[in-house]
Amino acid sequence: MDLRTHLDRPLLFKPGHYWLPLLLISLISSAGARAQSWRAVGPGGGDVRALAIDPNHREQVYLGTTDGHIFGSHDGGEHWSLLGLAGYVPNAVVTAIIVDPRDSRKLYASTWTREREGEGGGVFLSLDAGKSWNETGLAGHAVRALVQAPSNPDILIAGALDGVFRFSIQDQTWERISLAGDAELHNFDSLSIDPLNADIIYAGTFHLPWKTLDGGRHWIPVHRGMKDDSDVLSLAVDPADSQRVFASTCSGIYRSEDAGALWRTAHGIPDSSRRTTVIRIDPSNSANLYAGTTAGLWKSTDGGMNWRRASPAEWVVNSLVVDAGRILVGTEAQGVLLSDDGGEQFHAANSGFYHRRVISLAADSGNPGQVVAAFAGTMESVTTSGDGGLTWSPLGKGLKAAEVSRLFSGPDGLLAALISGGFARFDRNRGVWERVGAVVENATARQFNGPVRSSSKRKTFTAHVNDFAFSGGECFAATDEGLFASRDAGDSWSVISFGPGALRVDAVRAERGGERLRIVAGLAMLFSDDAGATWQWHDLPLESGGALSLEFADDSTEVAIARNGLYISHDAGITWVEAGSGLPRGALTGVLIRPDIWLASVEAGGLYLSRNRGASWLRRESHGYSEQDIELSPFHAFVSDGATGLIYAGSSREGLYILDLSPAARISAAGGSGK
């Protein structure tokens, strides 16, 4: 339906048709909610926990993440697209993906989750090659391993924290095949099935391996030769010789030549690599084995007797696909690495897989159009993009992303709050980050007026920074040790006193050259309109649960992010009202306030937009799975780039997205010409 066509016609309101104006308002609001362009952006990579290949179409590969997402590739892992969500919840770790060899559209995925009341997870089925998923009957079980019997694909075996279960695909039923409540038969972490006999199953636990010869009616321990208390992380039976079995454990890699009766330790992998998470046998040559460890990928060419490292030591390998000469490695942060020569050389294969965990974002005030990001789980530097997130590059030397707790835009450029405490500042001229900041002792902000006398006592500013704000030439840092002020862009700091004792300050905002200050401390709010000389306490309504942070919307409107929602004041904080209709009450993970749009991210999932200053809200509607992913994502970092108008939204689980509110994006999203 073309809304413009209907708007060009005269509206005839007949008696009893009072619903027509409401319908029109609803149509206009819905069109506005859709008329934005979301896109996932790089840099490529993220935490990969499962990889699988379609045995009938070798170029079709699947990938599972730590938040239930399933990605697919049609070209052997070079390019990826988001397909669907297995597990219904955003904290479902995908532990395995299986492609049914008889039907390439039928996939199984196992997951486990950490819940407040314990562990959870299950096994999920897709009948459309990963786009949609449904439970198979193990809901609530934390499934750490899932395998399909090579000799009978009608049988799946699942290893969970509470036992081993067998699934009959033909009957669509699960049954427990391990003894319930047994002191040893629990906490299963790995599985492997004899290639010729589906009743012979090997199962690794947090404490040594077990074996059944009769489909689970009886279990026997098979750990002679292993160190006691070995967490068996992976098991592999040689498809060319079922007597040869490999086990990777926290104490090393073991090989058995008699179906697990006796194990011998492999040589070559040092102590630092003994957390071997996965071991795979080359199906085209069983003498070639690959071991993914917490210190890189290792390779053996003599049947697992000796090993050498085949990758950088920094790789933390979680999953592997070995398909003749092609090796796909799923890592904790770098995403997918691919080799086409048996592991001699690798290249990153993350096109379309943008799933890094965002620590913090900032717009560089001194360099319009530049956005800076710190990503978790990586040894890389802080990175920057100046082209809307299409390409990223390291920003300077001297600072790793892992050292950063928050990034801020300061009056003279970028500041990074450090996990160890204090600040680092980016020197654009020299291209380096360097630690800055000294506290002027025995001086308050009111006494601190410009250059510090050489006789003044100084100590390094090491307080843990929770928030930062600046207005004009004044900078303010909310820290665990109180509120600090600086008039020289962070070189020197002095404390703003609230009385005897230190007060932890969680958030700070500043306006009018630092005269107008707002802070949050211990869920309460303190306001000052005279640069911190005097303060007044302000309270939100009791049902708010207390304040977490504050924003200025304009000279007359202030916004408080509370534990249970969003509150607005139009009278300098004297009275507060809850945000308007459409925004659910509950914890918010992030808020962005702009003159043209307000955004709020809800902890339970969902992104809400308001174009009337919080009076009413619309949830982002899903049009295709990529935007449904937006709805599920709790975002904690928002940055508005004033030069381009783009909004960057960072998630601690699902990567970085950009919202484009430009007229061209609205026209494209609406499918119109704009005329």
- Summarised one tens digit per residue, pLDDT across range 286-321 is 999 999 999 899 999 999 888 999 999 889 999 999
> Can you tell me the distance from the alpha carbon of 648 to that of 660, in angstroms, rounded to the nearest whole number?
9
> Can you tell me the distance from the alpha carbon of 124 to that of 102, in angstroms, rounded to the nearest whole number?
18
638: number of Cβ within 10 Å? 20
> Can you tell me the distance from the alpha carbon of 431 to that of 208, in angstroms, rounded to the nearest whole number?
52
pLDDT band at 545 (very low <50, low <70, confident <90, very high): very high
Q: What is the pLDDT of residue 21?
A: 34
CA-based nearest residue to 246, from 298, 185, 296, 310: 298
User: Residues 36-54: pLDDT tens digits?
Assistant: 577 888 888 999 999 999 9
Q: In Å, how far from its chain's centre is CA 87?
A: 16
Q: 124 CB contacts (<8 Å, ≥6 apart)?
A: 86, 87, 108, 109, 110, 111, 133, 134, 135, 136
CA-based nearest residue to 319, from 71, 668, 532, 590: 71
Q: How far is CA 152 from CA 155, 157, 195, 201, 349, in A?
A: 6, 11, 9, 13, 33
DSSP string of 82-129, one letter each residue: EEEESSSSTT-EEEEEEE-TT-TT-EEEEEEEEETTEEEEEEEEESST
Residue 7: helix, strand or coil by DSSP?
helix
Q: 135 CB contacts (<8 Å, ≥6 apart)?
A: 122, 123, 124, 125
pLDDT band at 442 (very low <50, low <70, confident <90, very high): low
Residue 601: helix, strand or coil by DSSP?
strand
- Across the range 346-352, mean pLDDT stands at 94
Of 8-22, 102-116, 207-221, 591-605, the one with minimum mean pLDDT is 8-22
Residue 337 has pLDDT above 60, yes or no: yes
> Can you tell me the distance from the alpha carbon of 137 to that of 174, in angstroms, rounded to the nearest whole number?
7
Residue 654: helix, strand or coil by DSSP?
coil
DSSP string of 439-496, one letter each residue: EEEEEETTT--SSPPTTS-EEE--PPEEEEEEETTEEEEEETTEEEEESSTTSEEEEE
Structure tokens at 115: 């819940």
Residue 28: helix, strand or coil by DSSP?
helix
pTM comes to 0.81
- Across the range 145-173, mean pLDDT stands at 96
- Across the range 79-105, mean pLDDT stands at 91
185: number of Cβ within 10 Å? 20
Q: How far is CA 654 from CA 145, 351, 354, in A?
A: 23, 15, 8
Q: What is the pLDDT of residue 273?
A: 54
Residue 439 has pLDDT above 80, yes or no: yes
- Across the range 379-394, mean pLDDT stands at 89
Residue 220 has pLDDT above 80, yes or no: yes
Q: What is the pLDDT of residue 189?
A: 95
Pair 347, 369: CB distance under 8 Å: no
Strand partners, 578: 567
Q: What is the dihedral of CA 8, 10, 16, 20, to 10 degrees?
A: 20
How many alpha carbons lie under 13 Å from residue 71 in its C-beta half-sphere?
A: 32
User: Residues 59-71: pLDDT tens digits?
Assistant: 999 999 998 999 9
- Across the range 462-479, mean pLDDT stands at 95
> Can you tell me the distance from the alpha carbon of 166 to that of 383, in angstroms, rounded to the nearest whole number?
47
103: number of Cβ within 10 Å? 12
pLDDT band at 631 (very low <50, low <70, confident <90, very high): low
Pair 496, 445: CB distance under 8 Å: yes
What is the sign, positive or negative, of the torsion defined by CA atoms of 416, 418, 422, 428? negative
Q: How far is CA 648 from CA 123, 342, 551, 599, in A?
A: 34, 39, 18, 11
| Secondary structure percentages of the chain, helix, strand, coil, to 5 | 5, 45, 45
Q: Which residue has the higher pLDDT, 406 or 448?
A: 406
> Can you tell me the distance from the alpha carbon of 202 to that of 210, in angstroms, rounded to the nearest whole number?
6
Q: Which residue has the higher pLDDT, 283 or 21?
A: 283
519: number of Cβ within 10 Å? 29
pLDDT band at 270 (very low <50, low <70, confident <90, very high): low
> Can you tell me the distance from the alpha carbon of 48 to that of 67, in angstroms, rounded to the nearest whole number?
10
pLDDT band at 162 (very low <50, low <70, confident <90, very high): very high
> Can you tell me the distance from the alpha carbon of 119 to that of 121, in angstroms, rounded to the nearest whole number?
7
Residue 11 has pLDDT above 60, yes or no: no
DSSP string of 297-311, one letter each residue: EEEESSTTSB-EE-S
Domains along the chain?
Answer: 3-34 (no CATH), 222-324 (2.110.10.10)
Average model confidence (pLDDT) across the chain: 86
